[in-house]
C-alpha cells in the first residue's frame, strides 16, 4: 500500500496503512497561545525548544511547526523556528502556514523531506503550493475543502480530495506524497461529524489509496474531558484507516489510545511496544530496563550518509 516517506537530516518516518500510526505534535503553534506568540515575535524561541523536546519525549514521531502571528514577519519567524527545532531534535517536521511565502521560507531552510501543511482544493492555493511541493520534493497535506467551503457530505469532500490528488499528479507529484486531511469538525456542534469522517477515511483508503491526517483535537472542542473524546476519535479513526494525526502527545490518553490502536491493527508485533511502555516496573535491583529502547516501532532511523 501507499507509503509516504518524510525525513529530517538523519531520520525517516513513513506514514502508511501497514505501519504504526504517526503522531505529529501540534504544540508549536502560536494560535491561541498569547505568550508563545509574543515570545516568537520577539525572537525568543525558548518555549518552542521546550515544546519540541517535550513532544518528542512524549511520543511524537513528527512535529508541526506554525508561526501564524498577526502582523509579524511570518516567513522569517517560521524559518527560524524550523532551523531551531531541527537543531535540537531529529524528527521530520510539518511546515504549517496559510501564507505561501512562509511555506517557501520554511522549505528553503529545511533539511530532509518535509510535510507541507497545507494545500486546499481552492484554485489559487493549488497553483501556488503544488509547484513548491514539486520544487522542494516535499509531501503535502491536502485539506478537503474548496472555494465552496467545507461540505457536510463526506462524498463531496472525497471529490475535493480526488481533485487535489489529480492536480498534484499533473504537477508531477505522486499520490504517495499527498496526505489528505478529511477535516474534523467539533462533534459537540455536529453530532455526525465523526460518522462523516469515518466514511470519508474508508473511501480515501480503499478508493483513492491515499494516506490521511487531521487536526484530531478539533473533535472535542467545547466538551468536558476532551482527552477522552480525542482518544475515542483517534481509536475509531485508526480503525477506519487514518494513518497519522496532528495532535497533542503531551496528553497521555492520546498516546495510549494510539498505541492501543496500533496493537488492534496488528501494527505492534507481539505487542512489544505496548508491553515496553506499560509493563510493571521490575522489582528493585533487577536489571529490567535492559530491553528498553531496543526497537523504534515502525519508525526507522535512516543511516547517516557518509560525509
> Which residues form the interface with its own copies (CB under 8 A)?
187-188, 191-192, 194-195, 198, 223-225, 228-229, 231-233, 235-236, 238-240, 256-257, 259-261, 263-266, 268-271, 274-275, 278-280
Q: Could you give the 3-state DSSP secondary structure of residue 13?
A: strand
Is the CB of 84 or the CB of 265 nearer to its own copies?
265
* Partners of 96 in beta bridges: 66, 117
State in angstroms the smallest separation of the CB of 272 from its own copies.
10
Q: DSSP character for 18?
A: T
State in angstroms the smallest separation of the CB of 276 from its own copies.
10
Pairing of strands 22-28, 178-181: unpaired
State in angstroms the smallest separation of the CB of 27 from its own copies.
23
Is the CB of 174 or the CB of 282 nearer to its own copies?
282
- Residue 278 burial (CB count, 10 A): 11
* Partners of 301 in beta bridges: 11
Residue recorded with cell 494525526: 245
Nearest to 140 by CA among 167, 180, 172, 86: 180
Is the CB of 109 or the CB of 250 nearer to its own copies?
250
CA atoms of 79 and 268, how far apart (whole Å) = 36
Is the CB of 52 or the CB of 229 nearer to its own copies?
229
State in angstroms the smallest separation of the CB of 182 from its own copies.
14
Instruction: Give the Å distances, CA to CA, from 290 to 14, 116, 281, 293, 294.
Output: 27, 38, 12, 9, 9
State in angstroms the smallest separation of the CB of 306 from its own copies.
37
* Widest CA span in the chain: 64
Is the CB of 121 or the CB of 241 nearer to its own copies?
241
Amino acid at each position: 500500500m501507499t507509503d509516504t516517506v518524510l525525513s529530517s537530516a538523519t531520520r525517516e518516518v513513513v506514514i502508511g496503512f501497514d505501519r504504526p500510526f504517526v503522531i505529529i505534535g501540534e504544540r508549536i503553534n502560536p494560535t491561541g497561545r498569547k505568550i508563545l506568540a509574543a515570545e516568537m515575535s520577539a525572537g525568543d524561541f525558548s518555549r518552542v525548544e521546550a515544546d519540541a523536546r517535550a513532544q518528542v519525549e512524549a511520543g511524537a514521531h513528527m512535529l508541526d511547526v506554525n508561526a501564524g502571528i498577526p502582523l509579524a514577519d511570518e516567513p522569517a519567524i517560521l524559518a527560524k523556528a524550523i532551523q531551531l527545532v531541527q537543531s535540537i531534535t531529529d524528527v521530520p517536521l510539518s511546515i504549517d502556514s496559510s501564507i505561501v511565502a512562509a511555506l517557501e521560507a520554511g522549505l528553503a531552510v529545511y533539511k530532509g523531506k518535509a510535510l507541507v501543511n497545507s494545500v486546499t482544493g481552492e484554485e489559487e492555493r493549488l497553483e501556488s503550493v503544488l509547484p513548491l511541493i514539486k520544487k522542494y520534493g516535499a509531501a503535502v497535506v491536502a485539506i478537503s475543502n474548496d472555494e465552496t467551503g467545507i461540505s457536510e457530505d463526506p462524498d463531496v469532500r472525497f471529490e475535493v480530495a480526488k481533485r487535489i490528488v489529480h492536480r498534484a499528479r499533473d504537477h508531477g507529484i505522486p499520490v504517495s506524497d499527498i496526505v489528505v486531511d478529511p477535516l474534523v469538525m467539533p462533534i459537540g456542534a455536529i453530532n455526525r461529524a465523526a460518522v462523516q469522517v469515518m466514511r470519508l477515511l474508508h473511501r480515501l483508503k480503499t478508493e483513492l489509496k491515499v494516506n490521511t491526517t487531521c487536526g484530531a483535537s478539533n473533535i472535542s472542542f467545547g466538551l468536558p474531558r476532551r482527552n477522552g473524546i480525542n482518544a475515542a476519535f483517534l481509536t475509531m479513526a485508526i480503525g477506519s484507516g487514518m494513518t497519522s494525526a496532528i495532535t497533542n502527545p503531551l496528553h497521555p490518553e492520546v498516546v495510549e489510545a494510539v498505541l492501543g490502536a496500533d496493537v488492534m491493527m496488528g501494527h505492534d508485533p507481539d505487542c512489544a511496544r505496548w508491553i515496553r511502555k506499560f509493563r510493571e516496573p521490575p522489582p528493585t535491583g533487577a536489571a529490567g530496563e535492559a530491553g528498553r529502547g531496543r526497537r523504534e516501532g515502525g519508525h526507522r532511523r535512516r543511516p547517516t550518509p557518509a560525509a
